[in-house]
Homo-oligomer: A and B are copies of this chain.
Amino acid sequence: MKRLKIRCAVVGASGYVGLELLRLLGQHPRTEVVLATSNTHRGKAVAEVFPHLPLKTSLRFTPHDDAADFNAADVFLLSLPHGNSFNIIESLLATAKVIDLSADYRLKNPADYEKWYGFTHPKPHLLKKAVYGLTELNRRAVRGAALVANPGCYPTGMLLAAAPLAKLAGIKPDQIIIDAKSGYSGAGRVLAEKYLFTEASGEFTAYSVVGHRHCPEMLQETSRIFGKAVKIVFTPHLIPVSRGILSTLYAKTKVIKEEELRKAYIKFYRGEPFVRISPAGETPGIREVSGTNMCTIGLFADTENSVIKVITAIDNLCKGAAGQAVQNMNLMFGMEETAGLEAAPLVP
């Protein structure tokens, strides 16, 4: 008999991404949260720590370590800091499906972990098994996956912008520039001076200008999509807002007109429930996707300069993390892909 509700375990449930998972799963018609872990809030009722969540449950936070022994879930969604869940994921896979929202299974080449994260990947065999969960680009593989590596927030916006370009003649894949801007929730609940309201209010600045950790992920996936080596110049910035990433992608091309470009994107994303191509001349904004799993895409051809510009807006915590995880979970369990992800954004 088919279970009516998918039993979800959220490991790392009190960070911003974990909290977003609880928000989305709490509104999902086909899931129930059966485990929520948090070392900080261990023992406390979830409804007491986060009274704003409309949870009809008496769930209490347990420590992260409890997840390893828990076998009453159909799927584990893990939102722990990088490098913290290698050991438990392997054992969890014996009884359940796993969606890992950290970077631990995103990179295919174990050497990349040494270069970018400073550790030797302890489970290289699982790297091969893990499916990179950029849903729109990997739907088929996600459906059959036991372990999904949920994409990073910047790569999500970037890859949705770049993927259709691979089908276009005349795009030079070695000259892609991404100028990205993110809200502060992307930094998590990290207590650092620069993240204080008093410091960030009225501020706008770049950071990690060269060598951001999301670069190898973008390179790996773009190269796969293009079928050849690409180069990506990436600069992240911080916007004084909580949520949202706007990415402006620049690509060189001598031949493409805006109309063609638009047609190509419309065709590429036809039927996609979470991608919206903006009408000609319109630019996407981060508010129209806030709290949603949508990605809106604006398209422009600067023909005088032989450059096209592709602008994407996503919510970093939702489509860029928890929302995409739910989208992937929906596919992995044969549910409607949009289940639990249909709420409109707050505008204004």
List A residues at the B interface (Cβ < 8 Å).
16, 19, 23, 26-27, 48, 50-54, 175, 177, 179, 181, 183-185, 187, 189, 191-193, 195-207, 209-210, 231-233, 235, 237, 239-244, 246, 248, 250, 252, 276, 279, 283-292, 294, 296, 298, 300-302, 304-305, 307, 309, 311, 313, 317, 342-348
Further 18 A-B residue pairs, CB within 8 A, beyond A202-B290, A210-B301: A16-B348, A23-B344, A52-B294, A177-B177, A179-B179, A181-B204, A189-B198, A191-B193, A195-B197, A197-B199, A201-B241, A203-B241, A203-B285, A205-B246, A205-B284, A206-B246, A231-B305, A291-B291
In the bound complex, how far is the Cα of B343 from the Cα of A290, in angstroms?
14
Contact partners of A240 in chain B: CB under 8 A: 197, 201, 239-241
Partner of A248, one of B200, B237, B284: B237
Contact partners of A348 in chain B: CB under 8 A: 16, 19, 185, 198-199, 201, 242-243, 317
Partner of A52, one of B27, B246, B317, B345: B345
Instruction: Name the residue of chain B whose CB is nearest to the CB of A239.
Output: B204
Instruction: Name the residue of chain B whose CB is nearest to the CB of A317.
Output: B348
Question: How far in angstroms is the closest Cβ of chain B from A260?
Answer: 15
